[in-house]
Chains A and B, each alone.
Chain A
């Protein structure tokens, strides 16, 4: 039954290739737009998640300060002892590190620039997933004594050393001279726009002594063992810190904990919403494409009135005619969506590297667009098909 309609419909499409193509142009553009937007959107999400993960997946960043209004006006800073307490008392920690961040003028051989300086304990490299391209990490001795040794980012190496071997060379940071012991592997821009390769890392004590002049720790970075629950760990971390900071039962926390996973989720959900919105706009164009099919099919039915009369005279029943036009509209919509999918894939493959995001093929959106187009073909093809099927054969034959 249907095979006859498919045969007749394909013949009709083949007979009018140009018109058929113009009919489905709306669908082609609609599908291509939907899929390209969603594909690019997915790629962007993946990229952002990747970048945030580079900070270290599952990091808790603990800082003194209020999470809500009404707490202590001047929250006490953390001390190195807090870091030791967390390390020894909380289970499920992969690495924990203290961090002090400041900035300083760095000078060497007449080149000088202001750059960010991190004073950290050695676990920092583990927590932040930093690796060294050459050189060594800090030793326990470096840290305990607060030696002025440093690890430099790839960009710092480029601007101060060019082709020179930096290991063992001195670098003047503010008033102190530090010796370069390692070079960090290049990472490029972070998801938040700062150049992560323009950093100099020193032992915490060295920075405290020579740059900040206090024993305060600004930030504690806790990397969570992925097999442990972030929520549980966060809860025990809060109770430990409240205890150490002697907060009474009703008092608000005077420190904040930022979960990188939350950042990832937040950023990803923003991208998802954007993708969904743009996708919806594109879906409307798909709908308009469907109306285009209906328009052309209606014109086509009028133009082919005589042909329909001939078909009826030689024995087509109303259902034959109805199905032929319905199948024609549906086939056109399906063909259009296939062309649209192909265009979208080509477009995404071209756009992805330009936007420097990964190409993520999503079979669901492709299949969904295809099925939605088929549905549009059926829905918008039905009205013209019915009109064709209800023609009076005598009048149709007389039609010029």
Chain B
């Protein structure tokens, strides 16, 4: 039941070398079980962005090991990580990051294009994903014609269209008002519970973190403490 989909062991990340080196992560241990909803909080400069980049396989650790579904990420090439991302990971960004002047459905099917899915399957899956986020009627609209909340829904549809194991959300509600934020969080929770997608979410707002089952606090490149929604807390080792 509690198989870890992500396992970090003593992960460090440094930029530069020698005296001037900057250590963004200084030995992070973390296990995330499949199907969990994890919030990552911490002040800016704490290393949480670096941590998310590594968890999203966009970056590799300088030291330590990162097992994703028993694959050692630090040994993969740039392209192998890209292939792993399009198979198992979905991304939702604070700024939505949709392609401008591109319809919602074309935005959503983009990961499938890179996966070389054929046209019909691609369109069907993209339509299904849009339906999932409640935007079936907006498939032919471009981002400029959609509200912020709708754009973020399209971004979520794009992230889940590949049926990923893990969805990484970087402050998904950062650009939205509280009502839209609630809607997005409800959608993410629903995806987590109904589809069993593991969600890793960076946030500033405790309100949003409250939707997660587990909140990881990062401070000075280390995990400060982990709080679980069921009340059990733990400090990092």
**Complexed CA–CA distance, A313 and B116 (Å):** 16
**Complexed CA–CA distance, A320 and B83 (Å):** 11
Query: Residue among A11, A310, A315 with the most chain B CB within 10 A?
Result: A315
- The answer to whether B86 touches A315, judged by C-beta atoms less than 8 angstroms apart, is yes
- The answer to whether B85 touches A315, judged by C-beta atoms less than 8 angstroms apart, is yes
Query: Residue among B53, B106, B110 with the most chain A CB within 10 A?
Result: B110
**Complexed CA–CA distance, A8 and B122 (Å):** 14
- The answer to whether B58 touches A393, judged by C-beta atoms less than 8 angstroms apart, is yes
Q: Which residues of B, 85-137, contact A by the 8 Å Cβ criterion? A: 85-87, 90-91, 93, 97, 99-102, 106, 110-111, 113-116
**Among A15, A306, A315, A393, which residue has its beta carbon within 8 angstroms of that of B115?**
A315
Check B82 for interface membership: any CB of A closer than 8 A.
yes
Check B177 for interface membership: any CB of A closer than 8 A.
no
Check B19 for interface membership: any CB of A closer than 8 A.
no
- The answer to whether A15 touches B100, judged by C-beta atoms less than 8 angstroms apart, is yes
Check A368 for interface membership: any CB of B closer than 8 A.
no
Smallest CB separation, A328 vs chain B (Å): 14
- The answer to whether B91 touches A314, judged by C-beta atoms less than 8 angstroms apart, is yes
CB-defined contacts of B90 to chain A, threshold 8 Å = 314
CB-defined contacts of B79 to chain A, threshold 8 Å = 317-319
Smallest CB separation, B58 vs chain A (Å): 5
Smallest CB separation, B100 vs chain A (Å): 7
CB-defined contacts of A1 to chain B, threshold 8 Å = 116
**Complexed CA–CA distance, A394 and B97 (Å):** 13
**Complexed CA–CA distance, A312 and B57 (Å):** 11
**Among B82, B99, B100, B102, which residue has its beta carbon within 8 angstroms of that of A315?**
B82
- How many chain B residues touch A (CB < 8 A): the figure is 29
CB-defined contacts of A8 to chain B, threshold 8 Å = 113
Q: How large is the interface on A (under 10, 10 to 19, 20 to 34, 35 or more residues)?
A: 20 to 34
- The answer to whether B113 touches A4, judged by C-beta atoms less than 8 angstroms apart, is yes
Check A397 for interface membership: any CB of B closer than 8 A.
yes
Kindly report which residue of chain A lies nearest to residue B59, judged by CB atoms.
Answer: A394
Check A66 for interface membership: any CB of B closer than 8 A.
no
Check A247 for interface membership: any CB of B closer than 8 A.
no
**Complexed CA–CA distance, A397 and B99 (Å):** 12
- The answer to whether A394 touches B114, judged by C-beta atoms less than 8 angstroms apart, is no
CB-defined contacts of A318 to chain B, threshold 8 Å = 78-79, 82
Check B149 for interface membership: any CB of A closer than 8 A.
no
- By a beta-carbon cutoff of 8 Å, the part of chain A in contact with chain B is 1, 4, 7-8, 11, 15-16, 306-307, 309-320, 393-394, 397
- By a beta-carbon cutoff of 8 Å, the part of chain B in contact with chain A is 53, 56, 58-59, 78-79, 82-83, 85-87, 90-91, 93, 97, 99-102, 106, 110-111, 113-116, 158-159, 162
- Could you list 25 A-B pairs, sorted by A, with CB under 8 Å? A1-B116, A4-B113, A7-B113, A15-B102, A307-B100, A309-B97, A311-B110, A311-B114, A313-B56, A313-B58, A313-B91, A314-B86, A314-B111, A314-B114, A315-B82, A315-B87, A315-B111, A315-B114, A315-B162, A316-B82, A317-B78, A317-B114, A394-B58, A394-B59, A397-B58
Can you list the 9 inter-chain pairs with the closest CB atoms, starting with the nearest?
A: A315-B86, A317-B79, A15-B101, A317-B82, A314-B111, A315-B114, A310-B97, A315-B85, A316-B114
